[in-house]
Chains A and B, each alone.
Chain A
């Protein structure tokens, strides 16, 4: 047993061997591993040192820090006192000012055995980075520096992954996430608005226990969390199959717990494990509480997945009424195909959205270049935002 390790810390706080094993079993469950992995996790934790973590916030609402505080397995108190050595986090540090920021200078010499970086929020590149400063330095520079030297960089929440809300259509700060502002590195992306507390805790413990990065998809998202469509795990799916839909908020269908597809649920196009891990220690998730998915785990969702209450468009443009008609009847055989087609539709739509966004930005840049007086915000950007939004609506 390592004296400075995680297990030692837990014992010092009065954790018994039995509680520790139970904790390990819970972790196995959180990582979707069979129960037999519990003892192995316990063994790995006994030897694991506390991990130094540098947590950098850019343009953040703080929701992902809140998600950390809601983690149950392990709890926030466990994480803060035992598992992590959170050397920098603006919301949680006991000191302030230069004394708080001291670890950011000389990372390599301070952490000879390495450290982990967590990024929360988006990082603006407009106005030379002045839209977001940390200790007077552009947050985007700080993020780059910290991520470059890290053993692993965890981008938590959609803003850190792809720019999120500040980078939504109409955004004026040229904000981006890891894909835009960082070049290379070892990443894990946990998109979601915010990331689910269970996934956040599980990623941290997995890293401690397995000492290797979770298997991810091409977008750096752990397959264990983002490998399955919400629609395929949803408890209301049988109602979808039988054509039983809520048609208005609070109507009979809503009260009976019917499918929310026609009220705009984006579950058929969103890959996430919300129906499984849920929120509030598995107490509920959006659909259980009566509201559709808004696709917040999907790429650039503020632009690509909205409007929130509009029914997903038909995935196959040459069959515009496909979903309504097929789904409306109880043609169970054809439905699997619809779900697959929605996956395809999602990809097509995301590509189309990206192309629009690029065109709008190019146009804005051209107009900005031609304008004589240029405040960094620029009217043309706003016009571009409107165009993107309008194009997005027209498509539906």
Chain B
């Protein structure tokens, strides 16, 4: 057999002195996993010391979640033929065939998808299947733990304690259904830190749905947990987070380990390069023939009020210039996310929004879509995708319904009877797969089996299929790796320059806004605080986001 070694295999087994003395709590050796003949992990090894934060980074689809699913004994692994390689806990070989066994072995995991039951309260979710119980006559009689009463007061007390450790001032008896995504993530984390027996904790992109402030709090919790001696495996696409907390960093690329670094020898650029396998260049903004100006306004927002829990908009007015990329920034909870959601009719809204002087009726997504507006939502985890349908249909479904695209031309007088044009759809999807670098087996693959980041790329492709005049994108690079991030930003700029799409981009990453936007509007307490040019100083942005400055600077 021919063994091809990756060229830049930089396995630097550097351990600090006290780690050498400590025993490894986890070793995964030579893990290889195939999905339907497709090798997604090839001879991957990783190990973990108590009290260590070990970051696992890699592009979308590199195999990070798969490796963690193996560790956690997830059903999807065993129902697709298992894996080869060894898992050792405390130096002893284990075979984890189910999540229950993994938990027993002291492994906790915050999954990339939410694992919360919406009909249960926060407490019930935190204590799910680990409920403290009290004995009663019947359970004594039958000697069955199943018949024990749930000890609700203790459950609530434990849940409260876990929430308090995360500084989460939320009623522990509130139902999970309807909570904002950021909360759900913290509840999942509360569940894991509530497990007293946990020694290994896996976090699969916990910060992807969090705002920067929330993410900072999460990192703080990670440090505290590590200080308590828990070994942490931390998956993220935000390399600054890696630099902030990780002791060691393992880089995966296309299912192989390409590097293992100590923090002191790691720099963000180097990690990014290792992940992508090429240099990550800076985005150069191409010039325009005609600069957008206040003479030519595409969208006017007047006194917009949006009732979006946690992101209320309370009377915002803003004019968007035709052909510009307008950034919307601001701190979490100040309503920047509510703007697009309100205009697109996803949350109750009032006020006046007009495009080219024509009024857009609010509270109706159909109206907004049919008037050439499109929206890439920030809430892309699971919702917004037909998980069992193939990639191409997911990309085409909105354009098909709203604009009768990708349909056979006959009978043109009765669009309802027109069949899907598979060939056209497929060709379009293939083009998108190439442009956005969606890692998949082909346009036929069901979206469910894509990696998290690649599912997000499908969401973006879907909005682009509408060829909108005005495109709202919220948190477009959340949960996407550095390489793909650049691709997405590039694509937005190209759309803007080549196809003259007006883009309104909401993001909690100020850096990214400043990179591609013509102007950045800052929202404070649900209203416009001001608009800054992208090259304004950090201090100016900071002051405006804190509500100190209140006048337009552009």
B is a partner of A: no
Q: Which residues of A are interface residues toward B (Cβ below 8 A)?
A: none
Q: Which residues of B are interface residues toward A (Cβ below 8 A)?
A: none
